Structure 1
Amino acid sequence: MNFRLISYSDIPAYQQLLHRAYQATSQLGIHFAAATVEPEEIAQHIDSNAVYLLEKEQQLISTLSIRFPWGNNPGPYGLPHLGWFATDPIYKGQGYGNALWDWVENEILINQLKLPAVTLGTAANHPWLAKLYRQKGYQPIGQADLTSDHTTLYFEKILNHQNYTNWKKRSHR
């Protein structure tokens, strides 16, 4: 297994991975942008966000993006925001998505970026994602009606309590 940042040469395989992985969610009537994203949109996504991949034998297996507050699609709480989490359905249930998620949290968010916390969002009517995020230590912090097909639930995970406390004091003056 190899963890790495995406490159422009990965766009075709990345698009296929996203479309395959989000097909089941689309069949539930929940439409996430990743389900139908086009190559030009992926290039814009790469330019503004950190997109990590897990690959095995040169096959893209799983992906997770970090959207930054200064990027083209910031999260709503002034913190980096996770998104476009996907694992190729061929590898479903084999732990690859969890391996990538844990690596991004520990190596990137905590060790490299030294983040106080991170957020993410998902559809309230999705049958299992909210539960998955709670199991990973994410706590609900809000919701919004951004699209006609679902309410977005927002979650936050505190990664460093001292830094979080200091950030909260500074950000709410």
Structure 2
Amino acid sequence: MSQIFREVRVEEADQFLRLTLDAYASIRELDIHFSAATATKEEVVKHLTENTAYVLEENGTFLSTISLRFPWGLNPGPLALPHLGWFATNPDYKRQGIGKKTLALLEEEVLKQQLKLPAVTLGTADKHPWLKEMYEKNGFVEIGQKDLGKGHLTIYFRKILQPDLYQAWAEKHDETITK
């Protein structure tokens, strides 16, 4: 069985929505308000139109997905860097390293090789019991917190992908996140 890592197409919104809602079931149970956890098809189409989403698939089955929001887009992250979101793994494939593989493929093939990014950001809820630790284990460092009015503090993380490029970027950009 061959796995393929590729961009999600808007016409795949139904399959993307199923994966996202299934993967975020535990988030809904924790009463954490992530957009992906309660998305509708219309919201998914909007998300796929305004951002870039990638999927790891096998034989037509979506195993895991992660989206990339851009600083120039309608929903930028906290810094002048692309921001990761809507990271989800099919519950039938949890604890098999699929999410970690998806993130690694995105970092290497898209963020480093294609976009030549110095760093990337992501955010998660302070109330989530294990995501903070998972992101830290994957090389992300907390850079700030902000109350976005969702019933939790959003903890922002940054991962430096290319230190030399990052140093030059940091000299030109403010990395302050205000509460």
C-alpha change, 1:148 and 1:3, in structure 2 (3 Å) is closer
Within 5 A, what are the aligned runs for 1:1-173?
1-172=3-174
Shift of the alpha carbon at 1:77? Answer: 0.8
Unmatched runs of 5 consecutive residues or more in structure 1: none
Q: Distance in 2 between matches of 1:95 and 1:165?
A: 31
Q: Is the Cα contact below 8 Å between 2:146 and 2:154 reproduced in 1?
A: yes
Query: Letter of the aligned partner of 1:130 in structure 2?
Result: K
Secondary structure in 2 aligned to 1:171? Answer: coil
Equivalent residues of 2:119, 2:161 under 8 A apart: yes
Q: Deviations over 1:57-105 (max 9, x none)?
A: 1011110001000112110111100000000111111111111110001
Q: Would you say the 8 A contact 1:138–1:156 is kept in 2?
A: yes
Aligned residue type for 1:164:
Y
CA distance in 1, matches of 2:100, 2:173: 31
**Cα distance in 2 between the residues matched to 1:122 and 1:79:** 17
Q: CA deviation at 1:109?
A: 0.5
Cα-Cα RMSD: 1.0
| Residues in 1 aligned to 2:83 and 2:125: alpha-carbon distance in whole angstroms | 15
Give aligned pairs, total.
Answer: 172
Provide runs of 4+ in structure 1 moved above 4 Å.
Answer: none
Q: Secondary structure at the match of 2:172?
A: helix
- Normalising by structure 1, report the TM-score: 0.96
TM-score by length of 2: 0.93
Percentage identity across paired residues of the two chains: 47
